Chain A
Amino acid sequence: MFKLLRYLKPFTWSVVAVLMLLFFQAIADLYLPTLMSDIVDIGIVKGDTQYILRVGALMLLFAAASALFLVAASFLSAKIATGLGRNLRSLVFSRVESYSLHEFNRIGTASLITRTTNDITQVQQVVVMMLRMMVSAPIMCIGGLIMAVSKDAELSLIFVLVLPLLAGVILLITRRGVPLFRAMQVKLDKLNLVLREGLTGIRVIRAFNRLEHEKKRFSEANSDLTDTAIKVNKLMATLMPFMMLVMNLSTIAIVWFGGLRVDHGDMQVGDMMAFLQYAMQIMFSLVMISMMFIMIPRAEASAVRINEVLDLVPEIKDAAGIEQTQDKRGLVEFRNVTFSYPGAEQPVLSNISFSAGPGEVTAIIGGTGVGKSTLINLIPRFYDVDSGSVLVDGVDVREMSQESLRAKIGFVPQKAVLFTGTIAENIRYGKENATDEEVKQAAAIAQASEFVADMQDGFGAVMAQGGANVSGGQKQRLAIARALVRKAEIYIFDDTFSALDFKTDAKLRAALKKETINATVLMVAQRVSTVMDADRIIVMEDGKIADMGSHKELLKTCQVYREIVSSQLAEEEIA
């Protein structure tokens, strides 16, 4: 939590101003009982009505000043806290945007969303509280002590006894309470997890007839949470009554010892009354501080998560000396590439070498986890290789700027992702300044024209969040159109066609052939029918290239490929 406070730096002056304002406010507030004691000790004792009125007016003045300071302080602290929230959010978001897929997947999409939104809001709220209470409480406490001592130093000895007692109890309770609050948060998360799983897996749970089991799981998490919640609240139940008791007993002590001192003539009655009020203020500020102890652990978990994001530095950066590519227009070359995911024992890809040139279609086929998607993700430099090199147009991708490298590529991911906005805007995502004609053409090649025309607003139709209002196959076609509109040198299709039915798949490939005649095309595929006409088929097994060649060649030479083919096509079609 305190680590995050370093981001308060731009607000240093505002924070200082808030501190000053709160200090003045505390002084003004603290001066009121002293004035009151003057009314009693001078006004009443001497019977001077005029004096009482004068002091009363002065008191009003101080009260108004105190209010003014406080309003100003709250104005500034509102700006500081929300400003900090804004800066943190912006910082976290930009950082996440700079992550390579590796860092991104390490934390996970859902978790990153929570960190950017809820966690920062949580921290922001605590900062508001801190500026409001944590700053003013110690000032009130210390100010109150000073005023009390100035009223009567000897009577202040009561504090020597009372304050450590109070502080000790607060410490004791919060020390036991804070871990409980933490445990409660963990158990709440657990309950949410069970619940969420129950919702996402509802069909499976019902299909396997495991409702009772899930009910038991929920009930366990529920009881667990309830038990801790009861424990926490019971513990907290001791805090307030105890503090009130200590406070009240000390007032009694003050009246008693104060009375004795008044009797001896060491003190005046009004001073004693003022003293009483200072004592109250001091102890109330302690109560406020104890509240902070409860608040901070809640934000702490959030702060830790935010710091984790900010401390994670993306591995992939543009090289110092950026090299420009020669104009070879889309030559992709893998030279002895070996790559492993961080922490993995075995490399996902080892010794991959091939090259794919303009006008060629290279298809990659192979089993689960053999690294097909990983392979093509190396081309736009989503990851960096361990050894060997990936070259585009003769230049190592690590020596190009990420921007210029990716500008050459039209990428269609495995899972089509669309953004809110119209269909045209989504297609234009590939090329910002694409004309209407280009957008329409890209859609036509991607076999999207028909269903787009069927939609009420055509290309102006608005996508719901995540593209929920179109089917999976339609989404995929729009994603293809988005890549096509770029007129890229290199097209990468990561298993893009399997979400389409045969008919659309075939039509699309036919149209694509014409469009990508001068480009380098790399596609990961599952269907033999999709890859059959490729210029080069790379068959992968266990992270290595098992064989490479055309459909006909592979049928003769490659056992793995034959297996794949025979599983999908009937005899007469293979022959």
Chain B
Amino acid sequence: MSEERNGSRKGSGGGFGGRGPLGPGGMAMPVVKAKNFKGSLKRLLGYLKPYRMKLLFVFVMAILSTAFSIVSPKIMGKATTKLFEGIMLKYQQVPGARVDFDYILQILLILIGLYLFSAFFSYLQQYIMAGVAQRTVFDLRKDVNEKLTNLPLAFFDAHTHGEILSRVTNDVDNIGSTLQQSLTQLITSLVTIVGILIMMLTISPLMTLIAVVTLPLSFVVTVLIAKRSQKYFAAQQKELGTLNGHVEEMYTGHQIIKAFGREDESIDKFNETNEKLYQAGWKAQFISGIIFPLMNFISNIGYVLVCVVGGIFVLKHKIEIGDVQAFIQYSRQFNQPIMQMANIANIIQSTIASAERVFELLDEVEEKPEAENATVLQFPRGEVKFQQVDFGYREDVPLIENMNIDVKAGQTIAIVGPTGAGKTTLVNLLMRFYEISAGKILVDGVDIREMRRGELRSLFGMVLQDTWLFNGTIRDNIAYGRTAATEEEIVRAAQAAHADHFIRTLPEGYDTILNEEASNISQGQKQLLTIARAILADPAILILDEATSNVDTRTEVLIQRAMRTLMKGRTSFVIAHRLSTIREADLILVMNHGSIIEMGNHHELLATGGFYADLYQSQFTGGNSTSEAS
């Protein structure tokens, strides 16, 4: 089930936005069915509960406005009948024959009243529904976002961004437009169909039969075409997915394609998929486009039947001429709600499926609640202790077993190991992004589970390998770590991180707005900004996650100096590649394949002659420079 969903979502990728005023493409798109239709529907209705009085009002308005507009053709027919009667009498030269315009005027006045009311009610209904639908969507979005802030990182590591985004945007939008349009449409369609049937029956049961002869036909046609078109739309979706994948890949690797001169192959492959997409696309478009002409044709058949049979009936004085006119109007009004009803089943299905995906997210297990009497460290010193800690991302694969370390305030701990050795695991544990399965982690003697997460994390300053900056000014980005920072403090932090110089060369200086992908500054500059951000935050404990690996050596010299000053008096966990930093560390944790395999300082580890010693020696084996240089 979930695989099926992933498949269909692939195509839309990062596509956001609503469906537009044309309303849900329920018929066109392949419909994903909800797993627990009833439950999800009930829950969705729960969101509408605060608005139930308004909704009730909307429903009443909808019924009234439709009812009024349905009655009108019958009344209008009476006017025509009266007119025709008068004319016929005149035609037959009956003495004193005249058209009863007083009567007609009376009817028309009633009609004006009816139409005014109908328009007013329908306006009220849509006006109120706009508020209700959008507010509900607002609530849903808000709930989802709040939920996201309470989910553990394990959730985000297990789901792609696209997947999560799609639930907050596409799925919520889908629900929104259904509420805005389809819900009242469902009511008005139902009322219209039933109302028209009743009206027609009151005029002439026999004519009604003639008028509805085409009904089953149009219903069958709609359903049949919808089914066929789904097949083509699925094919189209699949090709679109392949195409989008290719585009994404080729654009991300643009430099490589240029460097290897493979533009033509890339274009050829694109055109091949594009052609397939075209083949599937026009068929899908055509099949779904054919529904309108067919419905129009069926409606015309009904129209002709009404005209012919009606005409004959008038001749036989079974019905009046005005009734024929009313029937023409009714049969014209009939088809639209039928088509809508045929679609609505699909729309509701897809809406509930969307709602279900949103609810699934809302039901994810949250982070453990905060401790009740949370301890607050007034003056953090930065002692960190691991006591018999066990941990694994999956229960059956333990990564860390019985780990004990004791870090005094101000010490430096280097974490080393080959790429992909799982060094970020320690960060995840220290910051309590993940929960340990056994043992205790203590900061200044307090179990980190007895602190508020926010409090705990603000003890740490962190520079991650992948820089994260947001769409805002450079100033705001640096001040992210401390909102109350003054301009002077921000500049000082930037100077300490050696970012001040490059910031000032930018045309807008500190007011430069980083664009969406922060592509208007270089990777190294981004790194400098994140360092400035950490410096400004002034934490008790530092975590440098390969902090300088994207900053070049020359800059790094300067940064290291700043870091060294910064590290003074602070406990620092450094995930580093640089042997000089490692050598000076008070404690080295050597990691491989996710677990800690060796622990100790540089000399101790070299003496053991294990993995670390091997790693250390290897730096110079290829270059054989030690001898050369000395």
Contact = CB atoms under 8 A, between A and B. Distances in A.
Which 5 residue pairs spanning A and B have beta carbons closest together?
A506-B622, A368-B524, A367-B554, A233-B130, A56-B308
Interface in B253-284: 253-263, 266-267, 270-271, 274-275, 277-278, 281-283
Contact of B525 (A196, A240, A369): A369
A60 B69 CA distance: 29
A98 B258 CA distance: 9
A203 B553 contact: no
B342 interface: no
A121 B297 CA distance: 30
Interface stretch (A1-9, A63-71, A147-155, A437-445): A63-71
A255 B126 CA distance: 30
A471 interface: yes
Contacts of A370: 552, 554
B296 interface: yes
| Interface residue SS majority, chain B | helix
B245 A79 contact: no
B379 interface: no
B480 to A, nearest CB: 6
A449 interface: no
18 contacts: A52-B312, A85-B278, A128-B289, A201-B470, A241-B118, A245-B118, A248-B69, A252-B108, A263-B83, A263-B86, A263-B99, A269-B84, A365-B553, A406-B261, A429-B260, A503-B615, A560-B554, A572-B630
B282 A368 contact: no
Given A49-B312, A78-B289, A97 B266 contact: yes
Interface string B570-581: 000000011110
Given A93-B267, A204-B462, A255-B83, 9 more contacts: A78-B286, A113-B248, A116-B251, A199-B148, A230-B130, A233-B126, A240-B126, A242-B119, A573-B620
A420 interface: yes
Contacts of A229: 130, 134, 137, 176
B289 A236 contact: no
Interface in A12-42: 29, 32, 35-36, 39-40
A89 B250 contact: no
A507 B619 CA distance: 9
B80 A567 contact: no
Given A79-B282, A233-B130, A567-B560, A101 B254 contact: yes
| Interface residue SS majority, chain A | helix
Contact of A499 (B254, B270, B419, B620): B419
Interface stretch (B14-22, B48-56, B439-447): B14-22
Contacts of B34: none
Nearest to B255: A413
A466 B304 contact: no
A406 B259 contact: yes
B270 A244 contact: no
Nearest to B279: A82
B231 interface: no
A424 to B, nearest CB: 16
Contacts of B505: 346
Interface residues of B, number: 179
Which of A39, A193, A500 is most buried by chain B, counting CB atoms within 10 A of its CB? A39
Contacts of A195: 145, 165, 168-169
Interface in A105-135: 105, 108-110, 112-114, 116-118, 121, 128-129, 132
B38 interface: no
Nearest to B306: A36
Contact of A82 (B278, B304, B324, B455): B278
Contacts of B87: 262-263, 269
B562 interface: no
B259 A409 contact: yes
B325 to A, nearest CB: 5
A208 B278 CA distance: 49
Interface in A277-323: 277, 280, 291, 294-295, 298
Interface in A329-343: none
Contact of B263 (A78, A97, A198): A97
A74 B625 contact: no
Interface residues of A, number: 185
A226 interface: yes
Nearest to A346: B505
A244 B622 contact: no
B453 to A, nearest CB: 7
A370 B245 CA distance: 35
B112 interface: yes
Contact of B267 (A78, A94, A507): A94
Interface string B216-247: 00000000000000000000000010011101
Nearest to A129: B22
B387 interface: no
Contacts of B304: 32, 56, 59-60, 63
A354 interface: no
Interface in A45-104: 45, 47, 49, 52-53, 55-56, 59-60, 63-64, 66-67, 70-71, 74-75, 77-79, 81-83, 85-86, 89-90, 93-94, 96-101, 104
Contact of B286 (A74, A121, A486, A532): A74
Contact of A245 (B101, B115, B579): B115
Given A248-B115, A367-B555, A509 B457 contact: no
Interface in B338-354: none
Given A82-B278, A244-B69, A417-B253, A114 B14 contact: yes
A108 B519 contact: yes
B500 interface: no
A505 B622 contact: yes
A453 B281 CA distance: 43
Contacts of B88: 45
A331 B161 CA distance: 46
B112 A249 contact: yes
Contacts of B198: none
